[in-house]
Amino acid sequence: MKDIKFKVWDKVRQKMFKLQAISFDIQTLAQFAVSVPGRSWEPAEKFELLPWIGLSDSKGNDVYEGDFLKISSTIYQVIWNKSIAGFELVELGSSLNRNICDVEMGDIVGNLYQNGLSVTAP
C-alpha cells in the first residue's frame, strides 16, 4: 500500500507543519478540521494541504506539491497539472517543464509559501 503524507501551511501563523490528522465532513467528504503537533483540532480553511508526490530529492527529503527544487543551476516548482492529472516540474520564469521523476536529481531549496515565488499552473 502506498503511503499518503501531507504537510500543511498555516495561513494565519504563516508556518509549515507536518499534518498529524485530518477529519472530513461525512456528507460532503470535504476537509473539516486539521490537527498539527502541539495544537488541537482547527478548521481546515486555516490550512493549505500539500500532498507528498511519492518521491524524494537527491538527499532523501520527501518532496511535496509547491516545493522548489534546484536541478543543475535551474529552479523548478512542483505543481499539480489538472490536464494531465499528475505532478510536474515547471521552471521558474518559464513555461518549460521536466518529468516529475527528475526530482531525484535535484535538491529542495524552498517552497511556494515560504519563498513567495511561483509559476503559473497550466
Can you give the length of the chain in residues?
Answer: 122
Residue 87 grid coordinates = 505532478
At 58 the pLDDT is: 97
- C-beta pairs of 34-40 under 8 Å, 24+ apart in sequence: 34/8, 36/8, 36/10
Percentage of the chain modeled with pLDDT above 90: 74
Q: Which CATH class is domain 6-115?
A: mainly beta
The answer, yes or no, to whether residue 15 has pLDDT greater than 80, is yes
The answer, yes or no, to whether residue 87 has pLDDT greater than 50, is yes
Model confidence pLDDT, tens digit, residues 35-84: 999 888 999 999 999 999 999 999 999 999 999 999 999 999 999 999 99
b or e along 70-95 (b: 16 or more beta carbons within 10 Å of the residue's beta carbon)?
A: bbeeebbbbbbeeeeeebbbbeeeee
Q: What is the mean pLDDT of the chain?
A: 90
